[in-house]
Structure 1
């Protein structure tokens, strides 16, 4: 059952509707969590802050800051949408110190919700001294010794009890993780409006045994071994062109439903990035933020970006609406197309000249001569630190080379 028109209209009401009534919460740090199941809580780093005479909620994931501002109040329920994804917090407050409600993630269905709680907390509890050191690189295997096993590279920084880091896979990273170690027990979590990740485990010298939760719908065990030399496959080597000399071309629909073919006269002689993505995908949104910088800097010199959205919605109209919302929200001037349902099988079928599409996002870089120069699988965003910085430098250099720009700094 879809959200009613009335509910959608409420989401469009300006922030002044909410803030004119004032959120009845004390500013400060809150102890917050998502109740994933009867026994498992995912910690959420939450503050309530004053900004320009308004009260807002801020979700923190390490250095990431997500402000929940553009909301409404319906009766005694406060509704705060996440700024980048089709999800929201709905809650009531009590005595200015307590939040009780739910996180709704509409990309997983209209009834996908997880209980959310928060309490005003100005006291700091003394933590047990860490019994080990998590600093460094960890060779990680999710669902080990099963047909679903996935390898990853954990990158963790520890400062006394405080942990930050991420896990890189061949399809992207787990973004900004933050947590705590006490004794030999630790956790790392992230909550960005699209994903709710929790990794909890036990450290035994240079070995980790733990459990991973993604929201309430997925959970698996994992193991990790300290390994400073461990690396994943090069993301430029995973998805490749087939060796049958099939030309790189496709025909899809624009957001208005008209046919769009590639190549075409508008892109001939241009450097083009084809981005296969979804608006529900945090790694895709990190990549889109970077591509906006690229486009703003190099479009006038001959760069075009064609972004193809594969969405959780069922109908073309709903898929196009989600993509249009992203385009308008981020003020993007790329060309946007509708790929269809969020399915790697569908994307692989539409791009038969590739061996396969295994990840959202996947990007294809095409030179002025119309030839494919690079195919990049997944995206390692700002949460990966030096890995992201190296990728940006490498990609900027590639674009400048393809555009024929010399002497740029």
Structure 2
């Protein structure tokens, strides 16, 4: 409550920028921001501010990822920065040319805001814990065998892939249902700090290095956290994403759901007959689904004239069909997608499993079903490891392109 009180006081006492269409003067360049998750933990992220005609262009930066925010809008005395793909925004006021303060609002969750501040910075460090230079830095470069929620019934494995240059670390975690996208952070002499903020994910990882092992805590947003530990292991692998979800028996894929106009969509149908079809079980709120969708857009553009169809069955945040439709249309229009979109309903894996009861279970958004011209399932892929995984993503793209070309040639 005290952070909300401080935030409210900031807004009430700030001088602001009185005219509705006037942006304040801000220093261009790199800014370091922090989401105040709780009393003890701040999730840092970086921003890039560039001057453009008529104002500024803002970016949120996570390692190699630069998220171009929508054009800033001034309402009353606050700047509103919408994320391009997810239903959330940054709202802030200027505290001079080199500082801003406000909050992040995630509209996919009811009354969900997290205070943040940001300052213009010329320093390389993402995390304030690295302000003191150490003679000897912890070494984390390479591949790690990781367990999240270890020692509990909900324990799950992951692969940590870290790239270290001096005190700067980038990388990600691969889980059996997808990766944790672009992580960036720092090391000190005995600790590792990583974070990611993309408008949906708000991830913070902290760990102490004890000998060769790491042990720490993973925070997701302001309400959830769990333990994690890792040890170096270049040979460690997790379960194959093509073996976790599968067709049971001799079942075929079929469904009867609604399109964005509320009209019934049957599968299979005459439109898809004789074509190669990818059925993507996904949600517009899901970062891994977004990464997969961006890749599928390239697939569709490259192979649609040869007979490739993509059907996205969307399970959405919201209480009504209209809310679900609005979410889907926002992503469709923003990315310029030429897919067939189907409304599955609320974001619930049990609901998805009931619609696709020919599968053993839908355990992840996204899950993709690859169907050949003969109507038979050729592959079911669980989750998605996106461009934040580097070579793993590139290998998947190469293999999937080859599969699509093979199926189209049948």
Whether TM exceeds 0.5 here: the answer is yes
In the other structure, the counterpart of 2:7 is: none
- Between 69-78 and 138-147, report the one with greater CA deviation: 69-78
Asked if 2 retains the 8 angstrom alpha-carbon contact of 1:36 and 1:215, the reply is yes
Q: Could you tell me how far apart the structure 2 residues matched to 1:267 and 1:203 are? A: 54
The answer on 1:305 being equivalent to 2:310 is: yes
Q: What residue number does 1:41 align with?
A: 42
Match of 2:299 in 1: 294
* Map of 2:27 onto structure 1: 26
CA distance in 2, matches of 1:378, 1:395: 14
Name 2:204's counterpart in structure 1: 198
In the aligned structure 1, how far is the partner of 2:149 from the partner of 2:123?
A: 38
Match of 1:154 in 2: 160
C-alpha displacement of 1:20: 5.6
Between the aligned partners of 1:314 and 1:299, the Cα distance in structure 2 is 34
The alignment partner of 2:351 has SS state of: helix
Deviations 1:337-359 (A, max 9, x none): 00000010000010010000000
1:290 deviation in Å?
A: 0.2
- Say whether residues 1:144 and 2:147 are aligned partners: no
Cα RMSD of the aligned pairs, angstroms, is 1.5
Q: Deviations over 1:286-318 (max 9, x none)?
A: 000000000000000000000011011111111
SS at match of 1:108: coil
Whole-angstrom distance in 2 between the partners of 1:20 and 1:91: 15
Superposed, 1:4-403 pairs within 5 Å as 21-52=22-53, 54-109=55-110, 111-122=111-122, 125=131, 127-243=133-249, 245-403=250-408
Mapped contact 1:47–1:59 kept (Cα < 8 A): yes
Contact persistence 1:130–1:181 (CA under 8 A) = no
Aligned residues of 2:202 and 2:220 also touching (Cα < 8 A): yes
Question: Secondary structure of 2:154's match?
Answer: coil
- In 1, the alpha carbon distance for the partners of 2:233 and 2:41 equals 29
TM-score (normalised: structure 2): 0.92
Secondary structure class of the residue paired with 2:100: strand
C-alpha change, 1:123 and 1:394, in structure 2 (3 Å) is: closer
Unpaired runs of 5+ residues, structure 2, are 1-18, 125-130
Shift of 1:204: 2.0
1:246 positional shift: 2.4
Q: Deviations over 1:106-159 (max 9, x none)?
A: 1122x1000010122235655324432101111111110101111111000111
**1:50–1:89: structure 2 CA closer, same or farther, 3 Å change rule?**
same
Instruction: State the distance in 1 between where 2:196 and 2:185 align.
Output: 9
* Alpha-carbon distance in 2 for matches of 1:399, 1:321: 31
1:172/1:130 Cα in 2 relative to 1: closer, same or farther (>3 Å)? farther
Separation in structure 2 between the aligned mates of residue 129 and residue 112 of structure 1, nearest angstrom:
41
Which region of structure 1 is more displaced relative to structure 2, 179-188 or 115-124? Answer: 115-124
8 Å contact from structure 1 (residues 19, 54) kept in 2: no
CA distance in 1, matches of 2:169, 2:20: 34
Unpaired runs of 5+ in structure 1?
A: 1-17
Contact 2:21 2:74 in 1 (8 A): no
Q: Distance in 2 between matches of 1:42 and 1:130?
A: 25
For 2:293 and 2:348, locate their aligned partners in 1 and report how far apart those are by CA, in whole Å.
Answer: 19
The farther-off stretch of 354-363 and 18-27 is 18-27
Q: Per-residue displacement from partner, 1:167-192 (whole Å, max 9, x unpaired)?
A: 00000000000000011112010100
Q: Against the structure 1 CA distance between its residues 188 and 123, is the aligned structure 2 distance closer, same or farther, given a 3 Å change threshold?
A: closer
Conservation of the 8 A alpha-carbon contact between 2:368 and 2:380? yes
Seen in structure 2, the aligned counterparts of structure 1 residues 162 and 19 have a Cα distance that, compared at 3 Å, is farther
Distance 1:23 1:262 in 2: 53
- Answer whether contact 2:138 2:188 (CA < 8 A) is retained: no
* 2:108 alignment partner, SS class: helix
SS at match of 1:238: coil
